[in-house]
Structure 1
Amino acid sequence: MGAVHAATPKAKAGVKASAKKSAKAVPARSAKTTRAKARPTSRTRTSSRAVVEAATPRPSYGQVFGLHATPDPLDLKSSVALVVDQDTNEVLFSKNPKAVLPIASITKLMTALVVVEAGLPLDEALTVSQADVDTEKGSRSRLTVGTRLTRGEMLHLALMSSENRAANALGRHYPGGLDAFVEAMNRKAAELGMTDTRYAEPTGLSSRNQSSARDLAQLVKAAYEHDLIRELSTSPEHRVAVGRRDLQFRNSNGLVFKDDWTIGLQKTGYISEAGRCLVMQAELAGRKLIMVLLDSAGRYSRIADAERLRQWLLGDPAAPIALSSPTS
């Protein structure tokens, strides 16, 4: 099967346009009116902002820079796609593989790699603190401030169900603290030859965490070398005791529940700037393959894209005919 490529637009993804904020004059209010109207709490303001953002989601970087206009023979909803043979490095499918985009919670794969290779004790208890609460996107978590879990459990929840507070706690409890951890993430990226990659924090909530499909394939290959990361990332479910409660967590990737997929490692991700993202190592047609899907439009589209790639790789006659196009 020959490699399939989709042409890359000239626009460089990964350059964030700056927005100018305009100040609006606020009419003066009488003292009586001011006293009568209660001032909103910080929680109210955060909730209101979240409602507005949910109603009018910001476009992804890929949408802003026109990457979704790139044609591909499988009509994928992801603006970036890459399929590579893990053993031979042969590229089987590519679409905008060099585009640099925010990667959302795919970041946590590097977080796990740094933690595991540091050899830190997995049975050490870590505590979720206020510093782990998301002030970037206002996302929720079932791990309340004060929750104590082992490092191994934090790692499990970060990889399997993309728990942001768990990932941040892992970074905070690294020797030297969060800054040292982020330095270690970027140092590991450089060591792996991930020249398009930059990390700003360990969760992926920041759009400053950016990479390319080509780089992420290298990350998946490196992470796959660790049995623990493979096991935890593909675990379907996990229950943890939090205080007097037992909390059940499920894998954020529905494909791990399907019998027709053999997945050796996976990680999902989403923030509005990144779109829906997915990286996996899977066995298909007798080959170990690395799949990268970034900036997919639609809640379930990254899963549908993975299924279309799988059908094509298996030679399903119902899949679209793949025609060669210029290398990107």
Structure 2
Amino acid sequence: MFSFHRIERAARQPLLALSLAAASLFAQAAPPSSATGAGTAAGPRLPALNARHVLVLEDGSGRVVLAKDADAVVPIASLTKLMTAMVVLDAKLDPLEKLTIERDDVDTLKHSASRLRVGAEMSRLDALKLALMASENRAAAALARTFPGGSAAFALAMQAKIRSLGLSRTTLADPTGLSPANLSTATEVAKITAAAARYPEIVRITSDKTTKVPISGRPRELHNTNRLVGAKGWDIQLSKTGYTEEAGRCLTMRMESRGRGFTVVMLDADGSAQRLRDALRIRQSLTNLPL
């Protein structure tokens, strides 16, 4: 039993000031790192990154801009919820159908905090918003439980989705990402992110900074767990964060830099501040990337 497993707790902290911190970070010459890709004698230097597994792709060409141990199989925590959302949306269920949080939806593995009490009601669409934007584990569990045929049928549909995307190194044991058996690689998370980007609902939900959803008839404000969404200088078009002790701080997002689209995957950073610094360093590298 781990008392400090509170999924996405740090994501609710205020966004670190970007101006002076970013200037300081970018002024520093990056020391050598194990990352490979963008840096050449004539091009931008590779940033030193805290995350242990990183992949940056140019979306149009599929070119690898930066990679750091991108094929290691590791836990991916709540990045799993992108797959959960795709499986639910593939089933073309009524988005306005009311779902009720039940005791079976409560996290008994990590005992993560939740704003959804047992008995809380919301639409399926709002459950998707809670799962994707606020990374609500009970919402994700309810989406799987209310899948046609129940959780067992959802699990089969999840495995079919993994196969359809050609993910040979991805294993997903639950819809929330709480299980350390939810495994993938930075390379395959980039494929998951590309697939999720083909769903307008996922793009809209995960690129919003804030929204309001009615829970049991009362409006509740949600904030995106990726505090870079909506921040000055960032154009993020899809995003999902994740955290468990086993996975570390994780982030996958699609963003634009100088009119070009990029997919950025970072797995197993040491903390939310380190994850933010990594994102800043990657963005700076992309602005220096030759056209």
Q: Is the 8 A contact 1:133 1:165 kept in 2?
A: yes
One-letter identity of the residue aligned with 1:71: S
Task: Report the Cα distance in structure 2 between the residues aligned to 1:185 and 1:304, rounded to whole angstroms.
Answer: 33
One-letter identity of the residue aligned with 1:218: K
TM-score, with structure 1 as normaliser: 0.74
User: 1:313 matched to which residue of 2?
Assistant: 286
Task: Report the Cα distance in structure 2 between the residues aligned to 1:196 and 1:111, rounded to whole angstroms.
Answer: 17
Change (3 A) 1:309 1:70: closer
Question: Is the counterpart of residue 115 in structure 1 residue 88 in structure 2?
Answer: yes
Q: 2:73 aligns with which of 96, 100, 105?
A: 100
Q: Is the 8 A contact 1:102 1:211 kept in 2?
A: yes
Task: Report the Cα distance in structure 1 between the residues aligned to 2:282 and 2:47, rounded to whole angstroms.
Answer: 8
Q: 1:238 aligns with which of 202, 211, 216?
A: 211
* C-alpha displacement of 1:242: 2.8
User: 1:161 matched to which residue of 2?
Assistant: 134
Instruction: Give the 3-state SS of the residue equivalent to 1:267 in structure 2.
Output: strand
Instruction: Give the 3-state SS of the residue equivalent to 1:83 in structure 2.
Output: strand
Instruction: Give the 3-state SS of the residue equivalent to 2:117 in structure 1.
Output: coil
Q: Is the 8 A contact 2:33 2:49 kept in 1?
A: no
Instruction: Give the 3-state SS of the residue equivalent to 1:105 in structure 2.
Output: helix
Q: 1:173 aligns with which of 138, 142, 146?
A: 146
* C-alpha displacement of 1:150: 0.4
Question: Is the counterpart of residue 192 in structure 1 residue 145 in structure 2?
Answer: no
Q: Is the 8 A contact 1:77 1:296 kept in 2?
A: yes
User: 1:86 matched to which residue of 2?
Assistant: 59
* C-alpha displacement of 1:117: 1.4
Task: Report the Cα distance in structure 1 between the residues aligned to 2:258 and 2:168, rounded to whole angstroms.
Answer: 31
Q: Give aligned-pair identity as a percent.
A: 43
Runs of 4+ in structure 1 deviating by more than 4 angstroms, as ranges, are none
Task: Structure 1: state its 5+ residue gaps.
Answer: 1-45, 55-68, 317-328
Instruction: Give the 3-state SS of the residue equivalent to 1:169 in structure 2.
Output: helix
Question: Is the counterpart of residue 50 in structure 1 residue 6 in structure 2?
Answer: no
Instruction: Give the 3-state SS of the residue equivalent to 1:261 in structure 2.
Output: coil
TM-score, with structure 2 as normaliser: 0.83
Task: Report the Cα distance in structure 1 between the residues aligned to 2:83 and 2:101, rounded to whole angstroms.
Answer: 20
Deviations 1:38-93 (A, max 9, x none): xxxxxxxx7xx516x79xxxxxxxxxxxxxx9733411010000011112111010
One-letter identity of the residue aligned with 1:284: S
Q: 1:132 aligns with which of 101, 105, 118?
A: 105
User: 2:229 matched to which residue of 1?
Assistant: 256
Q: Is the 8 A contact 2:33 2:47 kept in 1?
A: no
* C-alpha displacement of 1:246: 3.0
One-letter identity of the residue aligned with 1:269: G
Q: 1:71 aligns with which of 19, 34, 47?
A: 34
Q: 2:270 aligns with which of 297, 308, 315?
A: 297
Task: Report the Cα distance in structure 1 between the residues aligned to 2:196 and 2:263, rounded to whole angstroms.
Answer: 12
Q: Is the 8 A contact 2:242 2:251 kept in 1?
A: yes
User: 1:285 matched to which residue of 2?
Assistant: 258
Q: Is the 8 A contact 2:208 2:230 kept in 1?
A: no
Q: 2:123 aligns with which of 146, 150, 157?
A: 150
Task: Report the Cα distance in structure 2 between the residues aligned to 1:300 and 1:166, rounded to whole angstroms.
Answer: 27
Aligned pair count? Answer: 254
Task: Structure 2: state its 5+ residue gaps.
Answer: 7-31, 36-45
* C-alpha displacement of 1:107: 0.2
Which is higher, the Rg of structure 1 or of structure 2?
1
Q: Is the 8 A contact 1:157 1:249 kept in 2?
A: yes
